Amino acid sequence: MFLAIEGLITGAITGFLCGMFGMGGGAILIPVIVHIFKLPMKHAIGTSLTIIVFTSISSLFNYKKSGNLNSRLAFLILPFGIVATQIGALLTS
């Protein structure tokens, strides 16, 4: 029960700060997961990446609705970002 409450509070604070300052959640979330939840760094990164998928999708809808999305540019960058991310993940292993 206590873990659930800590998780909800952490998510709310991280989401608020990142939304307010327009930054990625990993900058706040990974140190919090490591220091407060006492998880190893690799688990913190994996957990953060899972969370980022859903927060990014949520943000995508808001930016699209307000007309602040350049879809053409996003789809040009996307394939190279996916490939480069896989290479980076393999190099860190």
Contact, 34 vs 8, CB < 8 A?
A: no
Predicted confidence band at 15 (pLDDT cuts at 50, 70, 90)? confident
Q: What is the model's pTM?
A: 0.69
Q: Supply the mean pLDDT for the chain.
A: 88
**What residues does each domain of the chain span?**
2-92
Tokens of 4: 């659930």
User: Do the beta carbons of residue 28 and residue 18 sit within 8 Å?
Assistant: yes
Mean pLDDT across 38-55: 89
- Contact (CB, 8 A) for 26 and 44: no
Per-residue pLDDT band at 37 (split at 50, 70, 90): very high
